[in-house]
Structure formats: C-alpha cells, structure tokens
Amino acid sequence: MKKDIVYGGGAFTPPKERIIYRVKFTKGEEVKYIGHLDVMRIFQRAIKRAELPIAYSQGFNPHQLLSFASPLTLGTTSCGEYGDFEFREKVDTEDIKNRFNEVLPFGVKVVDVVLLKNGTEKAMASIAAATYEAVLDDRVTPKMIEENLSGYLAQNEIMVMKKTKNNFKETNIREDIFEIKNISDENTPKLFMFLAAGSKRNLKPENVVDGFYKYIGFEFNKFDIRYKRVEMFREENGKYMGLSEGVGVL
C-alpha cells in the first residue's frame, strides 16, 4: 500500500504535483569504503543541517522521502551517482547544490540538481546502463591491452563466475558488454567500459576485468584493481541518456 506523505504541519495543502529533485553527486577516495546505507544517512543528516524542505512519509515512524540509484560496490569511486529527493516546496536548484555542499563531508560533492517533470520514473527504476573506468594492476601493460582487447571482445561467450543471492553461477556476460575501450596512458593500463546495469540486467565491471584476466592468462584479484563509475544511463527510444538528461523541468 502506498504511504501518505506529510508535506508540512497544520492544515498545509499539498501541491497538485509532487516536487522531486534529482541530485547528481560524486563519491571520492575519502569515502569509497562507505556503503550505500551510510551514504543515505550522510544525505539525511545533510538535509537537516542545510535546512532543506524535505517531505516525510506519514505513520508511526515518518521518514524522509529520498531514494538512490544503483548502490556502488565498496571500494569504487564515482563521478556519477544519483538520488531523488521529494520536497514540500520548490527551491532554486543552484541553492540546493550550494546548501548541500556546505554541509556534506569531504569526498561527497553535489555537481548537478534538476527539478523532475511530473511522473518521471525513479532513478533506481530507470537505470539501463553504466560506464566505468578500471585501472589494472602493474602486471598488465598498456601494450598487452592493445594486443588482446579485440580478441577478448570477439568471443561469442565470456564465461565468469557471477555472484547470485545465495551462491555463485557461471554466466556468459558477453551480451551485457556494450563497449570496452583501451584508455591507457603511457604507463597506466586502463579500460573504459559501457555495461548493462539495473534491475533487469546488471553487469559489474569486476566481472568484465575477471574475464579479461582469464583471457590473457592472469590470475584475477579484485582488490588489485581500481574502479570508478563514470555515469549511469536510462534508455529512451533506443538511445542512452544520463539519468538527469531529458527529465528536468525547463
């Protein structure tokens, strides 16, 4: 059953259209080992400190109406995280960004805020793909990536062990790899990956790197690789768009 929403005290009349802002933020090295629930608590505290007019659910235990897109794997940084925040009144988007950044801890920074069109699907439900960067360990050279990446992607099947709810299952991940590019510099082996993401299909970058290491004959240790999520995308009419793109009120 859908919960009622508290928009304010007394006889306040809720707006005809819900006021929801999509907030894009970064997660840096300082907070890469902070989990999804802790990120949520950081923003809950920041909302109170910034005195932003968040809406609350109704009931014995009212809670702030906010939700976040796909959780980030521990140890991964990001420059493209998203959260949806329902307010009880409109606030200038630049003001929201500035007020958040005045109170958020080092490593978390709001970079964009948009007021969503009425009826926009939640960020967590709209994700269809994501991009990542991975810095590989020093056993791998940029030349090795250059020599092997095309062959790796030419395979019809890339079998890796993917974690399920209760176990691990050998899975062909090839169809969930949309693109991989070699973005190494002279001394740093580095991959850019465009992968399926979301509730229907979801591929983690470590699965892709695991498959690549097997292809070149190296043992894979996920703790030797540095990952960054670059962006998350929704799909509209066969086109991938950032989660804030095309959904904001002009």
Give residue-wise pLDDT tens across range 171-184: 999 999 999 999 99
Alpha-carbon Rg for the chain in angstroms: 20
Is pLDDT at 125 greater than 70 in this prediction?
A: yes
- Strand (E) or helix (H) holding 230: strand 226-236
147 and 114, same domain (yes or no): no
Is pLDDT at 86 greater than 50 in this prediction?
A: yes
Is pLDDT at 2 greater than 50 in this prediction?
A: no
Q: Domain containing 32 — which CATH number?
A: 3.30.70.580
34 and 113, same domain (yes or no): yes
Quick one: pLDDT at residue 193?
Answer: 99
Give residue-wise pLDDT tens across range 30-73: 999 999 999 999 999 999 999 999 999 988 888 999 999 989 99
Average pLDDT, the chain: 92
82 and 112, same domain (yes or no): yes
Do residues 44 and 66 make contact, with C-beta atoms less than 8 angstroms apart?
yes
Of the residues 71, 90, 124, the one at which a domain ends? 124
Q: Take residue 98 and report the two structure tokens written for it.
A: 């500035």
d(CA 67, CA 51): 18
98 and 167, same domain (yes or no): no
Is pLDDT at 9 greater than 50 in this prediction?
A: no
Domain count for the chain: 2
Quick one: pLDDT at residue 114?
Answer: 97
61 and 171, same domain (yes or no): no
Residue 235 falls within a domain, yes or no?
A: no
Structural domain containing residue 143? 137-224
d(CA 155, CA 171): 14
Give residue-wise pLDDT tens across range 98-115: 999 999 999 999 999 999
120 and 18, same domain (yes or no): yes
Q: Take residue 120 and report the two structure tokens written for it.
A: 């926009």
Quick one: pLDDT at residue 200?
Answer: 85
113 and 14, same domain (yes or no): yes
